[in-house]
């Protein structure tokens, strides 16, 4: 049994293996080749945070692989009414073959995995977003034909996305630069990992410095789910941390832009420049 809780837990070889399998399955699906690898399997999906892309992708993936997905919202399940995580883990382990959870606390996901007898997948926490970043790495490799040696920058909040991007990109041999305003840096555990990696990482305050010559630009919203009350404060702090024509002018001519979505569209300081 192998959980997917955060990219810090995976080796470079495991990440590449996941990407290779995903590429093969995408090819099979495109050419209508059957791949019922999860025939008869059931995935319990716990959503304590709202979702569009995560829910649709997991449900569709389970269907295409021959399995079945069960949607469990926090409001409608016992975990949302205060049932201990360990009890939820034990019950779901008796009925299902895997658990995907999208929630706030990384500690909750780790605890769920400790008590479950089936694989647990982190669909998002405030600390990490491993599935999103694996999909991003897959996309980059499709477009650029490689990962090792590419340069990536992230502009904005040191949130779950950048935490996972730093780890994932460094592990596959990419160079990483991050531009965050002071007070919004990535998680200390991630920065410690980046320092131990030895080279290929920089944390700066100037977005143009971070973006110079990069092959891929990542960004995210200034205020994520659960941070709505900080929106005004964040608009002031992140003024200038935007992907726009000036920033793209200093990147590599073939640079691609990635955004995990949802994005706030409509211009002004409310969006992150897509």
Query: Binding site for L-ornithine: residue ranges?
Result: 160, 220, 224-225
Q: Terminus-to-terminus CA distance in the chain, angstroms?
A: 40
* 22 contact partners, CB below 8 Å, separation of at least 6: 134, 138
H/E stretch holding 259: strand 256-259
Annotated binding-site ranges: 51-54, 78, 102, 129-132, 160, 220, 224-225, 260-261
Measuring CA to CA, which residue among 42, 40, 38 is closest to residue 72?
Answer: 42
Rounded Cα gap, residues 229 and 72, in angstroms:
27
Contact 165, 133 (CB under 8 A): yes
* Angle CA 90–92–98, to nearest 5: 115
User: Binding site for carbamoyl phosphate: residue ranges?
Assistant: 51-54, 78, 102, 129-132, 260-261
């Amino acid at each position: 049994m192998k959980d997917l809780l955060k990219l810090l837990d995976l080796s470079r070889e495991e990440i590449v293996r996941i990407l290779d399998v995903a590429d093969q399955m995408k090819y099979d699906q495109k050419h209508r080749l059957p791949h019922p690898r999860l025939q008869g399997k059931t995935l319990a999906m716990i959503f304590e945070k709202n979702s569009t892309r995560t829910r649709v992708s997991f449900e569709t993936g389970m269907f295409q692989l021959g399995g079945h997905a069960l949607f469990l919202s926090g409001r409608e399940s016992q975990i949302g009414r205060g049932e201990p995580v360990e009890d939820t883990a034990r019950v779901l382990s008796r009925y299902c073959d895997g658990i995907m959870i999208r929630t706030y606390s990384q500690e909750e996901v780790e605890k769920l995995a400790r008590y479950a007898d089936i694989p647990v997948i982190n669909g998002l926490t405030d600390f990490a977003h491993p599935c999103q970043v694996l999909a991003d790495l897959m996309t980059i490799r499709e477009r650029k034909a490689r990962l090792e040696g590419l340069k990536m920058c992230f502009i904005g909040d040191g949130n779950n996305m950048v935490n996972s991007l730093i780890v994932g990109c460094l592990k596959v041999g990419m160079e990483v630069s991050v531009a965050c305003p002071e007070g919004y840096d990535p998680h200390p555990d991630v920065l410690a990992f980046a320092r131990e990696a030895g080279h290929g990482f920089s944390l700066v305050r100037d977005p143009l410095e971070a973006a110079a010559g990069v092959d891929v630009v990542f960004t995210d919203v200034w205020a994520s789910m659960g941070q709505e009350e900080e929106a005004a404060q964040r608009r002031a702090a992140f003024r200038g941390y935007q992907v726009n024509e000036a920033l793209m002018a200093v990147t590599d001519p073939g640079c691609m832009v990635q955004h995990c979505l949802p994005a706030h569209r409509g211009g002004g300081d409310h969006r992150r420049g897509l």
